[in-house]
Structure 1
């Protein structure tokens, strides 16, 4: 006889002490002041007060940063001022209709210079102490210019399309991207997007530096100007919490004529609470009391067994989980990452060890890691250099099987697991602790079936802890697409597994691992799948049968 079939359960009320308010972020958004105009463009900070570009009236408005009160209003030297920055007692202003940059002395009202932008477009300006930076929405670039005549010194792609407001703070550019309501931090030498955070409003239009490494952010839609502190805030944000019901099932069918014996399936047991995932109740298993085991990594497993499966019968097992899952975004500032010596000894020893699928000690892996990392000592930049090398070297190809790093280095293609194994191996060879995280993935619709799943890496960064890095997901053309895979997880993943590999229960698998033996000739089919049912909107709960309701 087949064993018990996985049961479906429904959610109780969608109430929790866990906040879903995007402003409840432990110190990222400090406060807001009203903009003096409904739809502010860019901002500039002169050391004492804020300047706001009024693109509709053609005015420049200086306001009190404490309360937003207007100090003075003066006409701009152009009809549609959009980009704005303060440098050497002057305002640099870009007019996105004329495509001109004007150097304006607000004390005298005199324009001391004007020139065309490289592409005749632009929405944001920043000053790095020596050069002028332009966010060029036409060319989709961030451009470094000679400030007195606009000659281009360097240019690179913006993190996303439509770059807007721009600021330079403590060695980094910060750029507003309105398409996805994000603020990106960009390294100006390479153009790499380093980190990002969600904008406090729905349409970030302007950015200016604030004292103590903070940012002013103007929002075009809600008419507010926010003071933000990405260097001081909690290291991560969560957003868009969704209730979901996730049902994992494994099935073995014996088509005969022999006997299947000693069938065992182990399921990785999801942790009750992660930064962006909360179990709303204990998982419901197909049998009331599965065996519970822990592997050498501390991973909790639920184990199901069947001693005999005669011809024509099935062995089926699994569980249903009710969870609340959010988008996760770490705001990683490289200078805040501690040295490798700050990593706890037990983590360093366990997660830099070799494994049969990792080949950490192989000559090729060691040589490759050393060549990538060079003399870099900051753990963030070690992780980032290896990430960049992996996405530059491999092309995604899912053909089945998990080949070892030496093969991947020579072949140049891999699946998500192979990207992950290679990335982990290179990190460990460089002395940076790494492991994998994995789970089930929502496939498009809010009710969907996943039989592919997904695995990614985690690295340990001192002062931050375990940070998700998805090399296959980050194999993208744009800087924004790449950094989306560093310190970020979507709410479409249900996480079941954190493991160092070579588990004495899961082996190198994730979600589940099954084994069996056979007596005589047997034709056996094995299958596994995950059924998702997710609330369509934040704050909705799920009822049995797939119906939705608002609590």
Structure 2
């Protein structure tokens, strides 16, 4: 078996392509030998040699497959291969593949990384990354695991890279201290392995992450009637992970896409209606540190633009909307959108100034049926924070309190937080309502953000995609730092905890921010908002939302 250096041309061809090894079920650990990938198929026990440019795949351990069944972590140092399997760590010569036992943990070992004679091993059950000395086989020290899921490891220079399948994140740790420097969200779910590729000319390092999960698909079964049936298949691949960390602004950006989004209303009233001098206002996607608008254009009818509280709004004007009259109108936007993850610690917000009075007057009040004066909500606000005074710990405690009290369920109407807390089940909008009420009663300014998420199909470019539902989340305000995002319910995954924090101060690339702190869509006449009791948009029109992923954005060659 030979792993010769690749040519200059092959090295220069490394780019944004997704690597899909042939015949592979579930990739675990991965590592590079020059420009060649080594990976392990956890289910089949195959140790694989993978060409990143062609997906050509070769089984290295043809005669030792049984020895590698269940292997999750993989690392290389020189000619020595290290693996984790079940509770134990093994090593072997890459050419002979005769496994030698190194150490056994009290619980399952998952990821592994090696730097000279230092061995790093992750264990989800322990909640630690254990560090061993190769010569003594004894534990030197241990680091707290940065996430709550199954973690795999890679190491390069002074950085220990950790990918977490449940957190959908990659963490950058100091390999000497275990201190988290920053983290980034991965563009796909279920990251299962991580490796660092070093360009053999420039020395530039690129992260590659493997992913392993199942995906649903419609199977054409000729022996069934009807012949189409829902089933699942393995989904595994490798993709480069790009990032840009801004330490002064406390956030890191990661992979993103150029997305075309269309929002269209089709006037099709349930009953005949007469509306003179109607203004139909629809918010336009926002400009943020992770989201840029390349262009916006009307669909069906022209609109004018207005600014409402710093947000762009498209205004469609009708001299008179008569019974039986029908229109299609809206906007189409080209949006650059990336993942963002903030890294802020409670220590960073210990001595912050008071909340400005204008924000207190607007974002600490009950302005959206939040039931903040009810006993149920007031008691929940007190219980959720206890004696905590640090603003970041308070908002984190409130989030966990709501996650403990509620389970997710789609509802036809949004009820007030007191009803939702009594019921114990809420939609994303109801989660937001409860979070808003508890935060505001605890002196934390917060506001609603949404409105849609692009279907999470980053590898399906050029295909029109339609979201199943609208979606809302929120932002909370910390003086000196500004507005920080927090998802409503998607992190509420575990009944007894701990829950992931992937979307606590973070948004994935598929979140489309529209209308921060303002209504997404309203009807007005002469500047006055029409009451929902008089006319309901849902009874007046049908909305059509479509996304098309055009291309993946290049690495960070521009300043965001």
TM-score, length basis structure 1: 0.60
SS at match of 2:344: coil
Listed as ranges, the matches of 1:349-498 within 5 Å are: 349-445=361-457, 446-450=463-467, 452-477=469-494, 482-498=500-516
Q: 1:98 maps to which residue?
A: 101
Q: Structure 2 CA distance, aligned partners of 1:265 and 1:242?
A: 30
Is 2:255 aligned against 1:236? Answer: no
By relative contact order (CA 8 Å, sep 6+), the higher-ranking structure is 1
Q: Structure 1 CA distance, aligned partners of 2:427 and 2:507?
A: 18
Q: Structure 1 CA distance, aligned partners of 2:506 and 2:483?
A: 12
Q: 1:281 maps to which residue?
A: 295
Which of the residues 95, 101, 107 maps onto 1:119? Answer: 107
Listed as ranges, the matches of 1:143-182 within 5 Å are: 159-164=148-153, 176-177=162-163, 182=170
CA deviations on 1:466-493 (whole Å, 9 max, x unpaired) are: 1110131111239896211112212222
Q: CA deviation at 1:256?
A: 6.0
Distance 1:514 1:482, change over 3 A: farther
Q: Structure 2 CA distance, aligned partners of 1:279 and 1:382?
A: 34
Q: CA deviation at 1:280?
A: 0.9
Distance 1:432 1:452, change over 3 A: same
SS at match of 2:397: helix
How many residues get paired? 409
Is 2:183 aligned against 1:196? Answer: yes
Q: 1:49 maps to which residue?
A: none
- Is the 1:358–1:421 contact (alpha carbons within 8 Å) kept by the matching residues of 2? yes
Of 457-466 and 255-264, the range deviating more from structure 2 = 255-264
Is 2:245 aligned against 1:266? Answer: no
SS at match of 1:482: coil
CA deviations on 1:136-166 (whole Å, 9 max, x unpaired) are: 26x584378999998x999999522244369
Q: 1:142 maps to which residue?
A: 128
Listed as ranges, the matches of 1:291-330 within 5 Å are: 292=306, 294=308, 297-330=309-342
Distance 1:231 1:321, change over 3 A: closer
Unaligned runs of 5+ residues in structure 2 are 1-14, 17-31, 39-74, 83-88, 94-98, 175-179, 197-204, 210-242, 458-462, 556-560
SS at match of 1:477: coil
Q: Structure 2 CA distance, aligned partners of 1:142 and 1:354?
A: 43
Q: Structure 1 CA distance, aligned partners of 2:453 and 2:503?
A: 15
CA deviations on 1:18-48 (whole Å, 9 max, x unpaired) are: xx99xxxxxxxxxxxx9999999xxxxxxxx
Unaligned runs of 5+ residues in structure 1 are 1-19, 22-33, 41-51, 60-77, 83-95, 101-115, 127-131, 187-192, 207-216, 222-227, 541-551
SS at match of 1:353: coil
SS at match of 1:498: coil
Q: 2:222 maps to which residue?
A: none
Of 438-447 and 486-495, the range deviating more from structure 2 = 438-447
Q: 2:230 maps to which residue?
A: none
